[in-house]
A and B are shown apart, each in its own frame.
Chain A
Amino acid sequence: MALVRELSIGEQRTIVASGNQAAAEAIAQIGYDLQGFYPITPSSDVGEEIAAKIARGEADMIFVPATSELAAISVCTGAAAAGARCVDVTSSQGLLLKFEELPVLSGIRLPMVMNIAARAISAPLNIKCDHSDFLQTLGTGWLTLIARNVQEVYDMNLIALKWAERVNLPCFVVYDGFFTSHGTRRIEIFSDKATVQNWIGPQPERATLLDIKHPKTFGPYMNEDLINNRYQLRLAMREAQDVLPDMLEDFSELSGRRYQTVELYDMEDKPDVAMFLLASAADAAEDAIDKLRKEGQKVGLIAPRVIRPFPSEEIAAAFDGVKVAIIGERADQFGGPGGFMTNEIATVLQAKGIPTKLYTRVYGLGGIEFTHLEARDLFEQGLAAHRGEPVETNTYYGHWKGTLEQEPPHRFEPEPSESLFINRDMPEKINIKTLQALASDMPLRVCHPQSCPGCGIFTNLEIFFHGIDGPIVLLFNTGCGMVVTTGFPNTSFRIPYMHNLFHNGASTASGVVETYLRMRKKGIIDEEITIICVGGDGSGDIGLDQIIGAAIRNHPFIYLEYDNNVYANTGAQFCYTAPKGFATPTSPGGKNFHHKDMIELLRGTHAKYIATFAETHVEDALKKARKAQATVRAGNFAFLKCFSACPLNWQSPDDSGPAIVDAAVDSCFFPLVEIENGKTTLNYDPEKPGRKIPVVGIYERLGKMGSHLRGPEHEKELAELQAEVDRRWARLKAMHESPYL
C-alpha cells in the first residue's frame, strides 16, 4: 500500500553530534509535547540537551525530571493517555525499573517513543554497553528499531514516532551505550523542523482521557477477555510489519538514506559464512568483511533494522542458501537453548526448512569493544566450521580464564572487635582529648577511595564512623561513594560491605538486620554489629519510599544520607533537595520548585532518632553518631543526613568544602537539628551575633553552579528562596521551643 503524498528531498545540513545529541535534535524537531526523564548513564545527555533547548527557546516542550525511571515513564503514560506526544530515554537499570509500565503502554495501545542507550545490567554494576537491558523487553509489546550509528539514531527517532502512531504501539529506538550515545560523528539533519513535522504528519485521532464530551475508561479490570486484547496487539504488530517497508522507502525519498527492515552486506553471492549482529557491531563487521573479501573469503552480514516485530520473512530470505552463520549475542540468555536472537532465527529457519548451521557467540559484554579485529576473529571461527573443523556451537567470545600464578598478598588483619570500642570508655562530653584519641585510635573502616580531590563524602563518613564503636556492616546505594570505593578486583573497605541498586539500600538493610537479629537470637552470632546504610541525595529521591518504609517498620539500623544537592554520579542533574533556582543540566533556567525537606518527611515516620550534621561541626556530628548507635542498640531506626561538598560539580575549588558547608549551616539552609522521640532540638543557632548570613552566601562561595543566583539581577528569585528558608527555620525554632514538637 503506497503512501499517497508529494515528497521531495528535504534540505539538510551537516552537524557534529553524539548519539544522545542526535536523539535530542530529533526530539526537538519532532515537537513532542512532553519528555519524562530520570538520569541514568549513558543516556542522560538526551534529557539535558532537551532541557537546554527549552531554556534557549529552541524547543516548545514540557520536560519533567521525575523521581525515578518508573515515575518518568508513568508521567509519559498519563500524558499519552491525555493525548500528548511523549518521549523518554533510559538505559540498563532504568529500563528494568520502568519494566512494569512497558506492557501498560502497549496494552492500553498508547504510542510513544523511548530511546535506549543500551548498557549492561547489574549486578555487578557496569555502566558500559551490552544488550542485556533491551533484550529483556522482547515480550512487552513494544516496537523496536535498532540504530547502528549516530546518523541512524536521528533517522530512527523520526521513523519511530510515525510508525508508533500508525499502529498505536509504543516504540523503542535502541543504540549502543557510549559507543554510539557518546561517540561523536558528522551527521546530516533536516535544516527545517517543518520538513520533519510534515513528514511525520499530524497526530492521528485516538481515544483520550481528556475528552470530556465522550468519557472513556482506560485500563479496565478484565477476565478472560484479556486474550483478545493480546490478539489485537499481535495483529497490531503484524500491521506494523506490513507498513514498515513503505515507511522506510518513504523516508529514503525524503532523506536520501536508504534503510531496509533487514540490512544485508555482501550477501548477494550467498557467502560461506554470514554473521548476524545488532547495532554498532554491525558497522564494525563491515570493515572486517571488506578486508576478508579482499583476501578471497566469502563472508557477509545480516543486521536487522527492527527486532519487534521480528522480520521473519526477510530473515529467512537472508539466511536461505547460507551454510554457516555466526549469531553474535551481546547478552546471554543464561540457561536458554540458544540466545535471545538465536532462538528467534532458529524458529524462522525451522519453519522454512532452511538448514543453515547456527553458531552462537556471546560477545562484548560490559563494554568490551567490538571492532573489525573482533569481527574477524568470529568470521575465522565460522570459516573453520565451514571447512568442517570442530567448532563449539554456543559459547562465549572474549572472556578469559585468569592467569593468577600466586596467592595475592595479605593486606591487613581485620581489627579485633575489642579494639573498636573507643567511644565507650570516653566521657559523654566530647572535648579535644576525645577527638585526639579518636583520631589516633579508631581504626579506619574505609580507605583510599578514588574520589575527586576535596569530595565531602569520606570526610563525613569518617567523622561519623569515628563515633561508632564495634563492628560495622556497611551497605551503599549506587552513587559516587559506591563507584569510587570498588573497582574490581580492588576494594576500599576494611569491613563487610555490600552495594545494592540506587533505591534499594534501605530495604536491603532491613533484610540484613532481620537476619542478624535472628542469628543473634539463635546464638549463631554473638557479637553486636551496627548496620549502616549509606546513600546519596539521589537515593532519597528514587528510594524515598523504601527509606520511609524501613523507618516506619523501625528496623534497627542507621540510614546515612550525604547530600550535595545534585545527582553527582550521573553528571550533576538537580536533586529534589536542591534549592529553587539552582541551575543544573536538568534545570538550566533554574530549578522551578522548592527543596525537599528530608527531615520533615522522616518526621512523619515517628522514627526514634532523626538528625542532621555537618563536617564543620565535628563534636556535634560525633555526638549524633553515638546517639544513632545508641538508638539502633535499643532496637530502633535512626536517620542521619549531612551536607556534603562536591567541588567537581559545584565547580568550586577543591578546598572550598568547609566554607560552603558552613555557609549552608549559617544561612539556615541546612540547620543542625535532631528529633529524638518526636522532640525537636536545634543544635546550633546561627542567629547568635555575627553568624547568620543570607542564603546568597552559599552561592557566593559556590563556583559556576551558583553563579546564576549571584548578583542583583536575581534578587527576586533569591528573595523567594530566602523567604522559604526563613519560613522553614521559623517553624523549626517554634518546634524547638515547644515541649511537644
Chain B
Amino acid sequence: MTDPIESRLPYEDELGFCNISMVALGGDGANSLGKMLFDIAVMVMNLDGGYDAAYGSEKKGTPTSVSIKLCEVGRKVREVGPTKAPHILVVFREHLLESMVLNRGLQKKATVIVNTLKTPEEIRERLRLHSGKIICFDATDIATRTKSRINIPLFAVLAHTLGFPDDMMIAAIEKSWPRAKVQNLAAYQMAASETRFQNFPADGRYPLVPYDHHLTGAIGWDNQNEGSYIENTEYLNMRSTKPMRAGQIPIFKLEPCINCVKCFFTCPDPGSIVYRDGQMIGIDYDFCKGCLRCVTVCPETKKGHALVTVKESDYAALVTENPVRHTPEPVGAVRV
C-alpha cells in the first residue's frame, strides 16, 4: 500500500480495517442491525468492507456472532468470514461474557459495549479485558420502556462509537421498521443519555489473548468413532438450554395443582416438567427454555393457577438451586 488512504474510522488494523464483532442470541436482531449498519457504511458513508456472520443452523435463542469490517474505498476486501481481531465488541446478553471466549483476538484499546446493569469495572473483570473503554447500559430496560428491541439502543451506542451521524442512523431506522418507527426512535434517543463508561489503560492486569486459528479438540481423527457414531450413554446432551430464555420463567405452586398433566404433555422440552408417582413436582430450570406453553394450558382451579409467569431475575435463587434437577451438571468432552 504505497498510497496511504486517510481513514475516517476510529480504528485501523494492518490491512486498513476497523473490525466490529457483535455477540447475541438468535432472535435478538443482531443480524438485521449488522446488515443495516453495513448498508449505511457503504451507501451513505461511502466506506467499503464486509458484513459476515458465524453461520450454522441457528435456532431461536442460540448464541450467534456477527461481524462488520469497515475500511475506506481502495483497500482490498479479500478475507471471508467473521473478524478474528475485533476493535469494537458489542455484547447483547451479559451471560455471553462467560459462555463465549470474547477476549480472544480482542485488540488493545478496544471499545466494548455491553447490555448490562453491571459497572464497567465488573465487566472488565469478567471479560478479562487487556485495555480499552467499556460502555455499559441497560438496553433491555430501554427496549422494554420504549416497546422497541434491544438492538436499537445498542445500534445507537455503536453508531456513536464509529462517529456515524445520528441523522443517517435515524433515517435508516425509519426506513427499516416503518411500523415501529416511534418506538425505535425513542429507544435510539434514550440510549445516549443512559450509558456509563470507563477507560482502562494497559495496566498489565490481563494479557492480550491472541486469536489462534489452529483448531483442536478432545475428540479428533485418532479417537473419533469410525463413521462418527456417538455412544449415547456417554455423550447424552447435557448442555443447559437456560440461555435460550428471554427473561421469563414459569414457577410451580403445589396447592392449586390438580395434576391434570396438561403442562407435561405440552412441554416442548422433554424432561423439563417433572412428574413423580402421578404428581407434578416441578420444573427443571436447567432445560426449561421459558416458552411458557405450560402456563398457557394450566387450568384455573379454586386456588388459582399452579403455573404462573414470573421474571427470571426475581427468582435467581430458585433457578440456581433448581430442586427438581434430574440430571448431572454438564461436564467433560465438549470441543475446546
Contacts and interface: CB of A to CB of B under 8 A. Distances in A.
B333 A489 contact: yes
Nearest to B84: A371
B260 interface: yes
B57 A184 contact: no
A280 B266 contact: no
A283 B79 contact: yes
Contacts of A287: 15, 76, 78-79
Given A286-B76, A453-B291, A435 B265 contact: yes
Given A453-B290, A459-B266, A658 B297 contact: yes
A371 B228 contact: no
B245 interface: yes
Interface residues of A, number: 98
B296 A439 contact: no
Contact of A446 (B217, B270, B333): B270
Interface in A436-473: 436-437, 439-440, 444, 446-459, 461-463, 466
B52 A286 contact: no
A342 interface: no
A131 B224 CA distance: 23
A403 interface: yes
Interface string B172-207: 000000000000000000000000000000000000
Interface stretch (B128-136, B147-155, B233-241, B315-323): B233-241
A659 B231 CA distance: 38
A685 interface: no
A280 B221 contact: no
Contact of B216 (A400, A448, A490): A400
A447 B80 contact: no
Contacts of A439: 261, 264-265, 275, 278
Contact of A411 (B217, B235, B261): B235
- Chain B binding site: helix, strand, loop or mixed by DSSP? loop
Nearest to A282: B78
Contacts of B277: 440
Interface in A25-62: 41-42
B127 interface: no
Nearest to B48: A186
B220 interface: yes
Contacts of B56: 127-128
Contacts of A456: 268
B78 A16 contact: no
A448 B330 CA distance: 12
A168 B74 CA distance: 39
A59 to B, nearest CB: 22
B234 A411 contact: yes
Contacts of A180: 80
B78 A286 contact: yes
A179 B81 CA distance: 6
B50 A184 contact: yes
A427 interface: no
Interface residues of B, number: 89
Interface string A475-508: 0000010011111111111111100000000000
B244 A453 contact: yes
A462 B227 CA distance: 29
Contacts of A149: 77-78, 80
Interface in A623-681: 647-648, 654-655, 657-659
A412 B233 contact: yes
Contacts of B276: 440
B221 A414 contact: no
A487 B237 contact: yes
A355 interface: no
B59 A451 contact: yes
A434 B249 CA distance: 28
A522 interface: no
B236 A490 contact: yes
A440 B278 contact: yes
B42 A435 contact: no
A236 interface: no
A569 B38 CA distance: 27
B217 A450 contact: no
A374 interface: yes
Nearest to A487: B237
Nearest to A404: B218
Given A412-B233, A450-B62, A400 B217 contact: yes
A437 B237 CA distance: 26
Contact of B261 (A16, A400, A435): A435
A436 B279 contact: yes
A287 to B, nearest CB: 5
Contact of B215 (A368, A495, A654): A368
A655 B293 contact: yes
Contacts of A398: 214-215
A161 B191 CA distance: 50
Contacts of A374: 213
Interface in A1-43: 14, 16, 41-42
Nearest to B259: A436
Interface of A: 14, 16, 41-42, 123-124, 127-128, 149, 176, 178-180, 182-186, 280, 283-284, 286-287, 368-374, 398-404, 406-414, 432-433, 435-437, 439-440, 444, 446-459, 461-463, 466, 480, 483-497, 569, 615, 618, 647-648, 654-655, 657-659
Top 6 closest pairs, chain A to chain B, by CB: A402-B220, A454-B291, A179-B80, A453-B291, A439-B275, A452-B60
